[in-house]
Amino acid sequence: MHLIRAVFLLITAVAFWSCAAQPESLIKNKPSAPQFLYRYWNQGKMGYIDLSGRVVIPARYEIAYEFKGDYAVVATSAAEFSGEWAVIDRTGRVVIPPSNALPRRYSDGVWYVEYGAVYRYGGSTIWSGDENGYMDKTGKRLFENKFKGQLLYFSHGKAEVYIDGKWGYIDKKGTMAIPAIYDVAMSFYEGLAGVRSKDKWGYLDEKGLMVIPAIYDNAKNFQEGLACVRSEKKWGFIDRKGQWVIPPQFDRCYGFKDGRAYVFIGKRSGFIDRTGKLVAGLVTLPEKYWHASEIQEDMAQLQLPEKDSDGDGFLDDDYVARYGFINMATGFVIEPVYELVGDFNEGLAPVYNEKGCGFIDKTGKLVVPMRYDSPSPIYDDIPLSEVLYFSQGLCAVRYKGKIGFIDKTAKFVIEPQFKEGKQFHGPLAFVVTEKHVGYINRSGKYVWKTPISETVSKDPLRGH
């Protein structure tokens, strides 16, 4: 049982880490490269198979992370005090040769990397990055990191750098492209970057020129050609020339997405179009609840306010957090009665209380009864919607100790039979039994499986 749990936790940890560490946007590869690649094991090594179970990249890696875009980070060595990391494409071709540089993120044609090593500490394995820097897409280091401050990611040829309490920008040669003279600096979006100087915000172009004067009290990134800025305690939207397109009139606002922006006027809120016209009427947010999340599918989470009756900084003993939802387009409220909720996806949201997990629709109707458990452990720092969600109509749940897959009517399409399992990623889902690990298709048939002993090496450092 311990071996099964270790394998599942390894897969979960690697998947979670790779979401943050892998490139967001990458150069397109050859059209013949498989769209979906899944990690597999052979004799303790990791490689990749396609959705039919055919080996595409043989198992020769100590660690293999999920593909993001067209590349994946792999470890070719996991010996103590060394970490040999490489980057491969979907054909298995080594794009960046093995080195002690761990690629964290790819953006604007540049890899952000950490130089360091793998250490054993108290029975655990820890990656220690003692220096950060940049590599090009072939693995060549762009420049020696002479900056003692914080480095961030490249966008539009520039990356923010923090030096002696101020922010500026470097170029891909490692030279100061824009002096570090700003109190706050944002990444470049749509060719412009917001900066704050002497408590006022403005926008720089890629040459470092202040093309929109620093006259605003607050500012956000440009999205769809408009930026939300605050002037004289009200928010409005300006264009790239700094001209008001929607005059300041809002108490809060979000940036534009798909032609709509969400704004607040006093206690009411609603969506506007690019002319500032309300797409629908304003709705009144209930004062007795907290607005507790971003908007997903027009729905936002609500929370009962925390209770500290004596003002000692500690919550009352009888306070229990409860969550619900509000439809930000119509004002319809689903009362906060659940211990945990997750964001809406495919029209449904996961909810949890002492009875178990279920799903509600946007009317608050419980369409999947609360008789299931999450397939993965529920932690305070991991949103419920990251472990419990529908993927193209199917969701992995734990029922009576076993993992199965239900549809949106709560019917089991794949009966509970697995010790552990993850949600479907594309056509396949990863599952674990007492004796095997493998991938099943949406009919519940294995396309690949191997004895569980194949997945764990005698080397305690491997896979961590």
What pLDDT score does 89 carry? 94
Distance CA 373, CA 450 (A): 27
Structure tokens at 371: 């008789």
* CA 405/CA 3 separation, integer angstroms: 23
Question: What pTM value is reported for the model?
Answer: 0.78
Whether residue 197 contacts residue 183, with contact meaning beta carbons closer than 8 Å, is answered with: yes
Helix count (H) and strand count (E) of the chain? 1, 41
Q: What is the pLDDT of residues 62-75, one digit of tens each?
A: 889 999 888 999 98
Q: Is 257 exposed, middle or buried (0-12, 13-18, 19+ CB in 10 A)?
A: exposed
Residue 209 above 70 pLDDT?
Answer: yes
* Res. 462: pLDDT tops 60: no
Within its chain, how far is the Cα of 151 from the centroid? Answer: 20
Work out the mean pLDDT of the chain and round it to a whole number. 84
CA-atom Rg of the chain in angstroms: 25
**Of 306, 309, 295, whose CA–CA distance to 349 is shortest?**
295
Distances (CA, A) of 115 to 68, 112, 257: 21, 10, 37
User: 368-420, pLDDT tens digit by residue?
Assistant: 999 999 888 776 667 888 889 999 999 999 999 999 999 999 999 999 999 99
Its sign, for the CA torsion 149, 151, 152, 157, is positive
Q: Which of 264, 230, 231 is nearest to 250 (CA)?
A: 264
Q: What does the pLDDT look like over 235-285, one tens digit per residue?
A: 999 999 999 999 999 999 999 999 999 999 988 888 999 999 998 788 887
